[in-house]
Amino acid sequence: MDEKTKTIEQEETKKGISRRGFLGASAAGAAGVAGLGLTGVMTPAQFAQAADKARHDAKHNVGPGELDEYYGFWSGGHSGEVRILGLPSMRELMRIPVFNTESATGWGLTDESKRIKGDSADVLCGDAHHPHMSMTDGRYDGKYVFINDKLNTRVARIRCDVMKTDKMLTIPNVQAIHGLRVQKVPHTKYVFCNGEFRIPQPNDGRDLNDPTKYFTMFNVIDAEKMEMAFQVIVDGNLDNTDADYTGRFAAATCYNSEEGVTLAETMRNERDWLVVFDIHSIEKAIKAGKFQTIGDSKVPVVDGRKKANSAYTKYIPVPKSPHGCNTSPDGEYFVANGKLSPTVTIVSIKKLPDLFAGKIKERDAIVGEPELGLGPLHTAFDGRGNAYTTLFLDSQIVKWDVKKAIEAYNGKKVNYIKQKLDVHYQPGHNHTTMGETRDADGKYLVSLCKFSKDRFLPTGPLRAENDQLIDISGEEMKLVHDGPTFAEPHDCMIVHRSKVKPKKLWTRDDPIFAETVAQAKRDGVTLETDNKVIRDGNRVRVYMTSIAPNFGMTEFNVKQGDTVTVCITNLDQVEDVTHGFAMCQHGASMEIGPQATSSITFKADKPGVFWYYCHWFCHALHMEMRGRMIVEKA
């Protein structure tokens, strides 16, 4: 959009007649009439029913130009990215490249993104499962979203003011980070994440054929520094995790208590565990110097295995290969989802201090074990005492009453199941609006279905998955939207838009490009004004500005064999005007946001003329925003 259109829109907004507002109102009106189906003659009952449906549809309808009530952060599974959706429209608003490599923004290609990726700068793929936002006092604070990479054993952090990945960490001495959650109380000092696969320790070629010596660990990261805080050795394979609302405990589901290697071996036992970690007692031990280290790593490690009989962990037996681990928003319970058992297990968090003090036995901490259906994977909550569990095999969401399930466990004859709703098909995670915080508001539930089958136009052998939106504000769950998605949202979190405060422009001192700015300073370059080529042996740094529709430099010369860094500072101050830099035949492409500095490095290995151009549409003369790199023969 050019300046003039912008000004007109600002004027209209002031007068309250903006195009956006007008479109929104007319669209809602049209939807209302269509919903009423005003064709032919209706009986009063039909009319009432149609009116009811129209009211219901309108409630979830976000018209053109209208804004959503919630941000949803979706994991992108083995696509490696995170996506932002608006709810209830389920419109995809943005993609945040994290563990993948991305052409439009240059993520994984730019110098800044490589610095952030650190020791994994050369790793171009990932498997992102669990996005979770930082909290203060059990409430989203809008600062960060953390996410795991199962494939390359990493955890990344997204800064929510700019919606970009700003830190990445490879976790030492474990393989496949799976479950990830944040400490909720008093604030997110720690990120908890599970190492899933058991490996030799250290994994340097020893004990290859002796799986009895393998183990994995529970990992705790300092959220602000994005450095390892400590690790806890455990039995079995850790799956999912969650934290409590006191700040003392975290729990993780744990399968393969048999410590087998083959599928048959890992399924022998009728029960596996919910492992509970006493974070306070682990912190105390580490402070007192009671820890070990593994291999080259300096990270403090404590032994929380069963046979170590430590004060750090308790292993609560739960049926069989449990998967999801979810804390109820009232802070009362951890729920372990049975997967191979039709049950979920409710553990009372209030009883855990007694368990750790040795006053009760492990199974005494369990207060309920309702039978829900086949393949319970994950549970979400509405803040009104109801839980919603995905049934993978039944392709259903079951709504159940937590209190009644506990009464039933105590022998009372009550029906704790309130409703079963078909979803399409095979749901994994589900999530409620604000449901993993004290602010659980019980408005919407999202079911992330692994298969869409017949729900959308077929797209060849590979099809979309189906994210379904369910209205849970009333007594009954109502399916209101089908949303096709690409591989493979495992999980999401949904936060009210009031909690997130994104910036409109970059600030010049942003830490994401601080190192690039420091290099310019060392080169004697003022980024906001200079257009200069600095030669440093066969390394060449090209500094230029950009302001629509011009690059500060329309040509520069280098020699064949030079390593060239192009560093661009976008001087535009207009919201939403991003420039790009793309260098033909050199695999170099990046975004430069308004007021940002971005840089990218490549080798000029062929003599000739190479055009560079802006590939983010920025102006009527966007096509003309270009220049030449002239590479002289060596």
Among 35, 300, 322, 428, binds ligand CUK (CB under 6 A): 428
Secondary structure of residue 74 in the 3-state scheme: strand
Q: Identify the residue among 83, 95, 129, 167 touching ligand CUK (CB under 6 A).
A: 129
With binding defined as CB under 6 A, does residue 154 bind ligand CUK?
no
* Closest CB to ligand CUA among residues 31, 574: 574
| Between 149 and 332, CB nearer to ligand CUK | 149
3-class secondary structure, 402: helix
Q: Which of 481, 622, 626, 628 binds ligand CUA (CB under 6 A)?
A: 622
Contact between 174 and ligand CUA per CB under 6 A: no
Q: Does 626 bind ligand CUA (CB under 6 A)?
A: no
Q: Quick one: 307 exposed, middle or buried, by C-beta within 10 A (0-12, 13-18, 19+)?
A: exposed
Asked whether position 240 contacts ligand CUK by CB under 6 A, the answer is: yes
What does the alpha-carbon distance between residue 457 and residue 260 come to, in Å, rounded to a whole number?
Answer: 42
Q: What is the three-class DSSP state of 282?
A: helix
Nearer to ligand CUK, 89 or 194 (CB): 194
Alpha carbon distance 513, 595 (integer Å)? 11
Among 129, 154, 429, 579, binds ligand CUA (CB under 6 A): 579
Q: Whole-angstrom distance between the N-terminal and C-terminal Cα of the chain?
A: 44
291 binds ligand CUA (CB under 6 A): no
Total residues at the site for ligand CUK (CB under 6 A)? 12
Helices (H) and strands (E) in the chain, counts: 9, 39
The entry of ligand CUA, ligand CUK, none that residue 272 binds, CB within 5 to 8 Å by partner kind: none
**Which residue from 165, 161, 156, 110 is spatially nearest to 592, judged by alpha carbons?**
110
Binding of ligand CUA by 614 (CB under 6 A) = yes
Pairing of the two strands 82-87 and 427-432: unpaired
Cβ-based burial of 111 (10 A; exposed 0-12, middle 13-18, buried ≥19): buried
| Tokens read off for 540 | 């060449």
| Partner touching 428 among ligand CUA, ligand CUK, none, CB below 5 to 8 Å by kind | ligand CUK
Residues 528-557 touching ligand CUA, rule: CB under 6 A, are 548-549
Nearer to ligand CUK, 109 or 156 (CB): 156
Partner that binds at residue 516, options ligand CUK, ligand CUA, none, CB closer than 5 to 8 Å by kind: none
97 preceded by cis ω (within 30°)?
no
Question: Rounded CA gap, 158 and 182, in Å?
Answer: 14
How far from the centroid of its chain's Cα atoms is residue 22's Cα? 35
Closest of 381, 368, 371 to residue 407, by C-alpha: 368
Cβ at position 428, least distance to ligand CUK in Å: 3
By DSSP bridging, strand 555-559 and strand 626-632 are: parallel
- Asked if residue 491 binds ligand CUK (CB under 6 A), the reply is yes
Our CB check for ligand CUK shows the closer of 193 and 582 to be 193
Nearer to ligand CUA (CB atom), residue 247 or residue 593: 593
Least gap, CB of 577 to ligand CUA (angstroms): 8
Token pair belonging to 221:
């990261």
* Helix pair angle (44-60, 19-36), 10° resolution: 150
Question: If binding is defined by CB under 6 A, does position 490 make contact with ligand CUK?
Answer: yes
CA 304 to chain centre: 28
Choices 173-181, 266-274, 506-514, 618-626; region in contact with ligand CUA by CB under 6 A:
618-626
CB of 378 to ligand CUK, least distance (A): 6
Query: What Rg value do the Cα atoms of the chain yield, rounded?
Result: 27
With CB under 6 A as the contact rule, which of the stretches 265-273, 329-337, 455-463, 611-619 interacts with ligand CUA?
Answer: 611-619
Of 194 and 433, the one with the shorter C-beta distance to ligand CUK is 194
97 binds ligand CUK (CB under 6 A): no
Helix boundaries (H) for 327-393: 352-356
Could you tell me the smallest distance in angstroms from the CB atom of residue 453 to ligand CUK? 18
Q: Which of 101, 84, 104, 106 is nearest to 93 (CA)?
A: 84
Beta carbon of residue 177, minimum distance to ligand CUA (angstroms, whole number): 38
Residues in contact with ligand CUK by CB under 6 A are 129-130, 178, 240, 323-324, 377-378, 428-429, 490-491
Residues in contact with ligand CUA by CB under 6 A are 548-549, 579, 614, 616-618, 622, 625
